[in-house]
Chains A and B, each alone.
Chain A
Amino acid sequence: MLTVDRRTFVKASAMAAATAAAAGTARAFSLAILAEQPEGASLKWQKAPCRFCGTGCHVMVGTENGKVVAIQGDQKAEVNKGLLCVKGYHVGLAMYGKDRLTTPMLRKDGEMVAISWDEAIETIAKRIKANPKGFSFYGSGQWTIPEGYAANKFVKAGLGTNLIDANPRLCMASAVTGFMSTFGVDEPPGVYDDIDQCDVAIMWGNNMAEMHPVLFSRLVDRRARGEKVMIIDMTTRRTRTSDFADEVLFFKPHGDLAIANGIAHLMVKSGKYDKEFVANHCNFRKLGPKPDEKTPPDMLGVQMTFEEFAAAVDVYTPERVEELSGVPAAKIRMLGDLYCNRGIKINSFWCMGFNQHTRGTAINCIVHGIHLMSGHFGKPGDAATSLTGQPSACGTAREVGTLCHMLPGGLAVANPEHRKHAEEHWNLAEGRINPKIGYHAVELFKRFNTPTDQGGDVTTVWVQVTNPGQTLPNLGRNFLKKKDLSDKFLIVSDVYPTATTELADLILPSAMWVEKNGMYGNSERRTHQWFKMVSPPGEARDDAWQVIAVSHKMMELGDNGMKDKDGKWLFQTVDKAGKEVPIWNWENYYDVNVDERLFNEYRLFSRHKHHDLAPYGEYVKTRGMRWPVIEQTDGSWKETRWRFSGFDDPYVAKGKDFQFYHSVTKDDKALIWFRPHEFPPEMPDKDYPFWLCTGRVLEHWHTGTMTRRIPQLHRAMPKAYVEMNKDDASRLGIRNNEVVTVKSRRGAIDLPVWIGGRGDPKIGEVFVPFFDETKLINMVTLDEYDPYSKQPDYKKCAVTVVRKS
């Protein structure tokens, strides 16, 4: 393990001896001269964002002889200032698992057979060309921005369908609809700087200490500097976050809806909300009537007067909120007092507790609402911060619009003007963009899992950079049925064998992270860039190249959809001299910077909704920039931190202190929604008496395909388990580490019990992490979703827990 080889050591010892052999006078201390070369001189260091979560830390990657050998936190990065979490420190190992996929494989007679890339590309091209309307792309918030853009253009311009969706449907969709309903446009108005300035930090059902550790450190390390910051942990079970909190408020599932309404109630009753802010910058809003029994009211809603709003929240007295949520009335009053205090700064944080929620849009809206109403908005430290799970759910899926109802730059398929913009940017014939939206994730896979002659009109799916075979809810219904449907064809681009590749018909080995150029966008609207540093193993190739190669092959086979209205190929790329570069050939793919070519085309879309992105070259020079990025008179590019705030957002009209320039009501005002508390669709009962919550742990990223192959992370957390309250366990006679069956109406999984471990659920609750592919807890979860975002609720369903023996 040490790099001192025996020979060198002996040589050194010999020198010491020889020197000392001088008759008498030599001073022997010759070991000092052995350090001939400075340590680490052969390492090359380059920047990259971390591969893992939505925080978007930057790392410095140390490479030597074509391999990654070390990682440092990037001290020049504003996000993390040199600090990483355990996953980030070990991100360099993610590429070196021994079972990397290195050759394309096709399933022939039940066996996976290695094939050439040419055969793979042709197989895909022919399959899609035979039935483009039956083809769906399923992508990812871990797609780089250029990858997502290539796939989006391929489907929406090239195929003229909108049959593309992505895994942020399962993680951030409700945050999106929450932003859209409140501000008329997606993504947070605030930034991470709010963490440094707030006086009170409220966690609304998220375990920030494990899930966004570097941001959480940013908060708690302020205490090491002597700053006072109050942390309130609102949670359904005790976690590591609770340990740092001044107040831990345990609430019942869906109690968050009641708590937020309770705070609104107290603000109305006391009159101590920010009346001026509300009068100048906000409208009240409620849902309209249902068109019919089955269909929910539309997301747009109808106007509500303040009096109506006051009457609606009147019922949410602290006592009533205590009944609905389990949080004591005195604590609700404490929260009310905090929000009514204009002299402090409050930063709310949330993540999957709010988004993986059958009323996800609602809860997102009403927490935005209480921040707006109380005036705790738009000033450093006053923010309602939706944290993102994936490294580029924002940068790729949301901003590039790789969803069935969206176009790049925040534009919408349903909007005829937006379709026209896309047709202009892409030089397409008028009407080429299909006005009919495609299928959202759960719907997409439901149809893929339904026989073709019974309405299962999705017959080919191409999955890139994600693992729906492990992450879709109710896997028995939504994924595994494909196995018996022989006419369905699943293409998977990935780096390791996964639960999804188990059912794949065609597997494409892909390059990951610093094996390719890339760009990501994090939770604070920061777009970052990195260069390829090492080569991918074997025949693995970039995901974007795969899409581009298929597009070109389809054009060669006569598909004119892959050309714009002037007959030019959609991905045509020229070098500086204007000569075309055949980027569909892998050998030529890195003759130019395809990322730059795609990004500089994509950024044209970003102006329409004030998402302004700078040219690619600017991101090379920085550790990311937060949009809107505006060119200054001296040619430099300036990022924007607080959107809609006059002091920082250049798009706010002069003289205004706030302007919501994408206002739903078209009057520069944001919306404060009323949404009632509602109970979850499936609740514990006699047969299934426990709440099941699922989620992550610090060591593992999502489905663990990367982190379980990193020994330090795997050994610390080698397998899944079920957390149980010790009183429940005692009552059922279950001992620590005993194997139990966790069963719902949909499926069952066996797991060891862990009492008094990482987290501690309340009585009547259990928790299971979803990283373990040998323990697919999504066999058990519920596939009910929010009516607006279509995001499923992984946080609550009813299960029973039974001892195996």
Chain B
Amino acid sequence: MLSPKMNLRYSAETVWVVLAAAGAGTVAYASIGDGQVTTGQVMGMPLAAAAPQGPPAVVSTDITWRLNSPAPKVIPESQSNPGAVADKFASRVKSLEKRAAVRAYEGAPPVIPHSIADLNVETCRACHAQGLRAGDKTSKMVSHTYLRNCTQCHVEAESPMLGPDTGPGNSFVGFRPSGYGGTRAGAGAPPVMPHSSFMRTNCVSCHGEFGYDGWKPDHLSRSNCVQCHAPAAEFEQLSPTFGVPDVADGMAATPRR
């Protein structure tokens, strides 16, 4: 009796594989996500070990063909190109490090890593209205185009006139995201945004052509991002669960000393 450790999140996948094999009598399947391969029995019938076969002579998308053919052999990306999988994650990590270098905490306005023409904010738009690439540097498209007073929030990382000055130390440790990205309901589900969407209504700013490595989706042609990607309740202030409730009992949350 088969009792595979089926990870129910992937049951849909598993069912497909099982169906594909049912007609053939020989089936090899794996339940994705539990790290195990079980070759055993399905529905009381013994299974033979999977034998890879060559591609069928006739290729067709007809479902009958699928039921009559073995599951196609797929070499997972981590086998065929292990560097790419690690790279995808590594590039995200690198991008997060790049972001963190200019932000006091995730969500803080970045400091400007270059000198600016102080008396004219229109010069900011020259590079940041659309974004651009110059050599290996990119300037991001601004994610909040409706705000006009740029230098109110963004200050220079270093004053070119008054010189570098590290100043006295500060022990603040800002919130940094883990790098894992947004949670998903299932494999292939669109991830929830792992950040606030306030002032980030222009997704292309970080996820588009001039955006960060590791964050460019393969579906840039789709322009209505928020149709699939939900805001995160942990950051969305207008979500009903956000924040400590503003009631007189908030005093109970007050540290006593």
A513 to chain B, nearest CB (A): 13
Whether A709 and B170, one on each chain, are in contact in the complex, defined by CB atoms closer than 8 angstroms, is yes
- Does B216 have its Cβ within 8 Å of any Cβ on chain A? no
The stretch of A35-43, A388-396, A638-646 that contacts the partner chain: A35-43
B256 to chain A, nearest CB (A): 5
Instruction: List 27 A-B pairs, Cβ < 8 Å.
Output: A18-B35, A20-B76, A20-B78, A23-B50, A30-B32, A35-B181, A36-B183, A37-B183, A39-B182, A71-B105, A72-B107, A72-B198, A76-B238, A86-B155, A93-B104, A93-B172, A95-B172, A217-B147, A217-B149, A220-B148, A517-B254, A617-B248, A708-B167, A715-B158, A716-B159, A717-B162, A718-B163
Q: Which residues does chain A contribute within 8 Å of B153, judged by CB atoms? A: 84-86, 89, 213
Interface residues of A (CB under 8 A from B): 1-4, 9, 12-13, 15-41, 43-47, 60, 62, 64, 66-76, 82-86, 89-90, 92-93, 95-99, 209-210, 213-214, 216-217, 220-221, 223-225, 238, 240, 242-244, 517, 531-535, 586-587, 590-591, 593, 617, 620-622, 698-699, 708-719, 721, 736-737, 752, 754, 757-758, 760
Cα separation A716 to B160 with both chains bound (whole Å):
9
Interface residues of B in 135-166 (CB under 8 A from A): 145-149, 151-159, 161-166
Mark contacts of B89-106 with chain A using CB atoms, 8 A cut-off: 1 yes-contact digit, 0 otherwise: 100010011001000111
A37 to chain B, nearest CB (A): 8
Interface residues of B (CB under 8 A from A): 9, 13, 17, 28-30, 32-33, 35-37, 50, 52, 71, 73-79, 85-86, 88-89, 93, 96-97, 100, 104-109, 111, 118-121, 145-149, 151-159, 161-184, 187, 191-192, 194-196, 198-199, 232-235, 237-238, 242-244, 246-248, 250-251, 253-257
- The closest CB in chain A to the CB of B181 belongs to A35
Whether A752 and B162, one on each chain, are in contact in the complex, defined by CB atoms closer than 8 angstroms, is yes
Whether B243 and A71, one on each chain, are in contact in the complex, defined by CB atoms closer than 8 angstroms, is no
Cα separation A36 to B88 with both chains bound (whole Å):
18
Cα separation A288 to B154 with both chains bound (whole Å):
51
Whether A757 and B146, one on each chain, are in contact in the complex, defined by CB atoms closer than 8 angstroms, is no
Q: Which residues does chain B contribute within 8 Å of A66, judged by CB atoms? A: 255
* Contact of A89 with B104 at beta-carbon distance under 8 Å, contacts A4-B179, A98-B171, A754-B162 already known: yes
Cα separation A19 to B5 with both chains bound (whole Å):
13
Which of the residues B36, B52, B175 comes within 8 Å of A43, measured between beta carbons? Answer: B175
Cα separation A45 to B178 with both chains bound (whole Å):
19
A41 to chain B, nearest CB (A): 5
Which of the residues B79, B152, B179, B194 comes within 8 Å of A216, measured between beta carbons? Answer: B152
* Contact of A243 with B120 at beta-carbon distance under 8 Å, contacts A27-B13, A29-B77 already known: yes
Q: What is the predominant secondary structure among interface residues of chain B facing chain A?
A: loop
Which of the residues B79, B88, B253 comes within 8 Å of A20, measured between beta carbons? Answer: B79
Q: Which residues does chain B contribute within 8 Å of A90, judged by CB atoms? A: 104, 108
Whether A69 and B73, one on each chain, are in contact in the complex, defined by CB atoms closer than 8 angstroms, is no
Whether B77 and A28, one on each chain, are in contact in the complex, defined by CB atoms closer than 8 angstroms, is yes
Q: Which residues does chain B contribute within 8 Å of A752, judged by CB atoms? A: 162
Whether B147 and A715, one on each chain, are in contact in the complex, defined by CB atoms closer than 8 angstroms, is no
Q: Which residues does chain B contribute within 8 Å of A60, judged by CB atoms? A: 237, 243
- The closest CB in chain B to the CB of A47 belongs to B246
- The closest CB in chain A to the CB of B102 belongs to A712
A-B pairs, 6 with minimum CB distance: A28-B76, A718-B165, A716-B155, A213-B152, A22-B30, A714-B167
Cα separation A223 to B121 with both chains bound (whole Å):
14
B6 to chain A, nearest CB (A): 14
* Contact of A621 with B76 at beta-carbon distance under 8 Å, contacts A209-B152, A698-B151 already known: no
* Contact of A19 with B199 at beta-carbon distance under 8 Å, contacts A29-B77, A99-B168 already known: no
Q: Which residues does chain B contribute within 8 Å of A92, judged by CB atoms? A: 104-105, 172, 174
Q: Which residues does chain A contribute within 8 Å of B146, judged by CB atoms? A: 221, 224-225
Q: Which residues does chain A contribute within 8 Å of B145, judged by CB atoms? A: 224
Q: Which residues does chain B contribute within 8 Å of A99, judged by CB atoms? A: 168
Interface centre among A24, A30, A73, A712 (most CB of B within 10 A): A24
Cα separation A715 to B104 with both chains bound (whole Å):
13
Which of the residues B36, B173, B243 comes within 8 Å of A67, measured between beta carbons? Answer: B173
A217 to chain B, nearest CB (A): 5
- The closest CB in chain A to the CB of B249 belongs to A620
A471 to chain B, nearest CB (A): 20
Q: Which residues does chain B contribute within 8 Å of A9, judged by CB atoms? A: 89
* Contact of A85 with B28 at beta-carbon distance under 8 Å, contacts A47-B246, A531-B254, A709-B167 already known: no
Whether A712 and B111, one on each chain, are in contact in the complex, defined by CB atoms closer than 8 angstroms, is yes
Q: Which residues does chain A contribute within 8 Å of B243, judged by CB atoms? A: 45-47, 60
Cα separation A20 to B76 with both chains bound (whole Å):
6
Which of the residues B36, B89, B171 comes within 8 Å of A96, measured between beta carbons? Answer: B171
B247 to chain A, nearest CB (A): 7
A461 to chain B, nearest CB (A): 27
Cα separation A34 to B153 with both chains bound (whole Å):
34
Which of the residues A13, A244, A718 comes within 8 Å of B159, measured between beta carbons? Answer: A718
Q: Which residues does chain A contribute within 8 Å of B50, judged by CB atoms? A: 23-25
Q: Which residues does chain A contribute within 8 Å of B244, judged by CB atoms? A: 44-46
Q: Which residues does chain A contribute within 8 Å of B79, judged by CB atoms? A: 20, 28
Q: Which residues does chain A contribute within 8 Å of B151, judged by CB atoms? A: 209, 240, 698
Cα separation A698 to B155 with both chains bound (whole Å):
9
Whether B105 and A75, one on each chain, are in contact in the complex, defined by CB atoms closer than 8 angstroms, is no
Q: Which residues does chain A contribute within 8 Å of B106, judged by CB atoms? A: 70
Interface centre among A586, A617, A714 (most CB of B within 10 A): A714
Q: Which residues does chain A contribute within 8 Å of B36, judged by CB atoms? A: 18
- With A9-B89, A718-B163 given, name 9 new contacts (CB 8 A): A2-B178, A20-B78, A23-B30, A32-B184, A34-B181, A69-B105, A85-B153, A715-B166, A716-B156
Whether A3 and B176, one on each chain, are in contact in the complex, defined by CB atoms closer than 8 angstroms, is yes
B8 to chain A, nearest CB (A): 13
Which of the residues A36, A86, A715, A760 comes within 8 Å of B152, measured between beta carbons? Answer: A86
Whether A535 and B257, one on each chain, are in contact in the complex, defined by CB atoms closer than 8 angstroms, is yes
Q: Which residues does chain B contribute within 8 Å of A27, judged by CB atoms? A: 13, 32, 74, 76, 187
Cα separation A28 to B174 with both chains bound (whole Å):
34
Cα separation A92 to B52 with both chains bound (whole Å):
60
